[in-house]
Amino acid sequence: MKIGFPNHPRKDILEEIEWIGKNGFDFIDFFLEEDKAVPEKIDIEKAKTLLKKYGLATVGHTAWYLPIGSPIKSIRNAAVAEAAKYFAVFGRLGVKFVTIHSNWLSGMFSSEEGVKFQVESLRKLVEEAKKYNIGVMYEPVDTPSDNVENVSAILDKVPGLFLHLDIGHANLFGKRPEDFIRKFHKRLKHVHLHDNDTYQDLHLPLGCGSTDWEKTIAVLKKYYNGTITLEVFSRDKDYVLLSKEKLRKLWNKI
């Protein structure tokens, strides 16, 4: 199992890589988003030098607000074209797997329509990413629509798409992370970890919310031994490092 941390996309990306490298993470989860981590502002050669200096591996992550499920076709197409620009940069950074987030509509659109719009975009994205030898991972976000049934419908309709399971998101609104792990482990390629109170997507340090980590890690470890990003968004990063120690200890104990 490998533990990583993301750069903050609104901070200097090179300083962010330095912090992640110096603090002993195995990889960086590249959050390439507005406004400082966009293709035209990234010094790829300097970033690669730092990755090498610290022996950091990489995974990639596009903006969570890309409208791949918009009911407006031209907006979906624009989302795909925007993501493709990022795939080119990820390819140059040596990234092999990139996250695209779910994008559900609410109100007058049904789940079936939400599936249809996203499937159309995701099929194009999987093809586009192949040009750079990149696999696409689908990350369900923090809405009630991101349930086992809907995720299953998406994965069934997009061959070659992998699952990125965000365990914090899978812990909201009565959902259970273990249900996702058991059902989708064969497509599971990456994991995000953070804690919450089961009502709000709080991105807390491990143990600060109500997740039963012993139980959750035990199920995860049974099926998975890959990359885990600590998506802990505390202002004081000591809590990130504490979460890293806790995760490593728990993983080794179970």
Among the residue ranges 27-35, 42-50, 166-174, 181-189, the one whose residues contact Zn ion (CB under 5 A): 166-174
SS3 3: strand
Q: Which is nearer to Zn ion, 10 or 52 (CB)?
A: 10
What six digits make up the tokens of 239? 């809590």
As measured in angstroms, the least distance from the Cβ of 43 to Zn ion is 26
As measured in angstroms, the least distance from the Cβ of 120 to Zn ion is 23
As measured in angstroms, the least distance from the Cβ of 229 to Zn ion is 7
Among 33, 166, 195, 201, which residue interacts with Zn ion (rule: CB under 5 A)?
Answer: 166
What six digits make up the tokens of 240? 């990130």
Residues in Cβ contact with 134 at an 8 Å cutoff, skipping those fewer than 6 apart: 60, 87, 90, 91, 95, 96, 97, 98
As measured in angstroms, the least distance from the Cβ of 208 to Zn ion is 17
Pairing of strands 135-139, 97-101: parallel
Question: Would you give the DSSP letter of residue 61?
Answer: E
Task: State the binding string over 111-150 for Zn ion (x if CB under 5 A, else -).
Answer: ----------------------------------------
Closest CA to 190 of 233, 222, 229, 153: 229
Footprint (CB under 5 A) of Zn ion, residues 185-224: 192
As measured in angstroms, the least distance from the Cβ of 230 to Zn ion is 10
Q: Which is nearer to Zn ion, 50 or 62 (CB)?
A: 62
Q: Which is nearer to Zn ion, 125 or 228 (CB)?
A: 228
Structural contact between residues 182 and 223, judged by C-beta atoms closer than 8 angstroms? yes
DSSP per residue over 140-163, as a string? Answer: --SSTT-SHHHHHHHHHHSTTPEE
As measured in angstroms, the least distance from the Cβ of 231 to Zn ion is 5
Q: Which is nearer to Zn ion, 50 or 247 (CB)?
A: 247
Q: Which is nearer to Zn ion, 109 or 173 (CB)?
A: 173
Among the residue ranges 25-33, 67-75, 229-237, 245-253, the one whose residues contact Zn ion (CB under 5 A): 229-237
H-helix segments, the chain: 13-22, 44-54, 73-92, 111-130, 148-157, 177-184, 213-223, 238-253
Q: With binding defined as CB under 5 A, does residue 33 bind Zn ion?
A: no
Q: Over the range 125-151, which residues count as b (16 or more CB within 10 Å of their CB) and which as e?
A: bbebbeebebbbbbbbbbbebbbbebb
Q: Which is nearer to Zn ion, 120 or 142 (CB)?
A: 142
Q: Which is nearer to Zn ion, 77 or 234 (CB)?
A: 234
Closest CA to 156 of 178, 138, 182: 138
Among the residue ranges 71-79, 88-96, 210-218, 226-234, the one whose residues contact Zn ion (CB under 5 A): 226-234
Q: Report in angstroms the alpha-carbon separations of 9 from 15, 78, 79, 129, 253.
A: 11, 21, 18, 21, 34
As measured in angstroms, the least distance from the Cβ of 81 to Zn ion is 24
What does the binding site for Zn ion look like in residue numbers (CB under 5 A)? 166, 192, 231
